[in-house]
Homo-oligomer: A and B are copies of this chain.
Amino acid sequence: MPVTSFREGGNTTDIKSPSRMRDRYKRLIGLTGYLLDHPRLQLSLTELSGLLNVAKSTLSEDLMFVKDVLESTGRGRVMTQVGVQGGVVYLPNLDRIRARSSLKTWVERLMEPDRLTADGFLYMTDLLFDPKLVEPLGELLASSFTECRVDSVVTVETKGIPLAMACARALGTEVVLIRRDSRLSEGSALSINYLSGSSRRIQSMSLSRRALKSGSSVLFVDDFMKAGGTARAAADLLGEFGATVIGVGVLVATREPAHKLIDNFWSLLEWHDNAPSQVVPSEWVNALCRIGEEQ
């Protein structure tokens, strides 16, 4: 068996035997697998070395390899803390290739000729409830808020729920659900009525008193926005809870009216509902995903 030692780039690696090398391959694969399956979680090096059955010093060395590859390929960041209380957190980056291909699918599907209902609505429920399609968009939306404090993602039932969940997942937080009417199963609640811009009807929304901590910083997410009446009403209701809406994210916003009832809204897609109906990614989405630059 060859026994060799070499030094390169400041690291010393011992090749004591082929099987030792294979062990390292296996450790690196196992470690990569573990990190990717546990994103955004603080993992202790002690626990990790137990789980992967490897000495802490070896683990630290392996981690540097994995960190280097995951970061240099743009897959995510690996944050390590050294010392006895040492830990590691894996923070996935936005997968721009997946986001771009997903946006392309959304635009194609939303332009299908039978998407418009007899009443002129854009049917999107099937797409909104497909995890493969909605998760990349939740990640895309979340990527605009990774630098902000987001205690919760808030949505109002029903169709915005999958996008809100995907967004909360990417931000490592949870969803607070505003109901259309108050429910016995949620205890006492605060309700408001408002005039919906889309339906020109009085609508109500209601939030359980126990659902949100005072002083929360929240992101409001919904599937569709026309004038922004629902988002405005949600911001008012959330204000009663002492919460601040730091941004509003929607999947599709109509181009008209250009002036919405809320500020700081981020729509992924824009719908021009003049004939023929047209759906396009928003400017900021184009820039973020570098649409037009693909080969």
Q: Which residues of A contact B (CB under 8 A)?
A: 1-2, 4, 6, 8, 13, 15, 18-19, 21-22, 24-26, 28-30, 32-33, 36-37, 65-66, 68-70, 73, 75, 92, 95, 114, 117-119, 121-123, 125-126, 129-133, 135, 157-159, 161-162, 165, 168-169, 172, 174-177, 179, 184-187, 208, 210-211
Contacts and interface: CB of A to CB of B under 8 A. Distances in A.
A208 B28 contact: no
A29 B69 contact: yes
Given A29-B69, A131-B168, A165-B165, 5 more contacts: A6-B18, A123-B185, A126-B211, A130-B168, A131-B174
Contact of A165 (B13, B15, B114, B129): B129
Given A2-B4, A30-B73, A158-B157, A125 B95 contact: no
Contact of A125 (B92, B132, B208): B208
B66 A29 contact: yes
Nearest to A114: B210
Nearest to A26: B69
Given A28-B25, A95-B37, A158-B177, A6 B2 contact: yes
A213 to B, nearest CB: 11
Contacts of A8: 18-19, 22
A131 B169 contact: yes
A33 B157 contact: no
B24 A25 contact: yes
Contact of A129 (B4, B26, B175, B184): B175
A75 B32 contact: no
A25 B13 CA distance: 13
Contacts of A129: 165, 168, 174-177
A70 B158 contact: no
18 contacts: A2-B4, A13-B21, A15-B15, A15-B21, A21-B21, A24-B25, A28-B28, A37-B95, A117-B186, A119-B185, A121-B186, A123-B185, A125-B208, A129-B165, A158-B158, A158-B161, A159-B177, A165-B165
Ranked nearest first, the 4 interchain pairs of A and B with the lowest CB-CB distance are A130-B174, A131-B169, A121-B185, A129-B175
A208 B118 CA distance: 13
Contact of A174 (B28, B126, B168): B126
Contacts of A69: 25-26, 29-30, 33
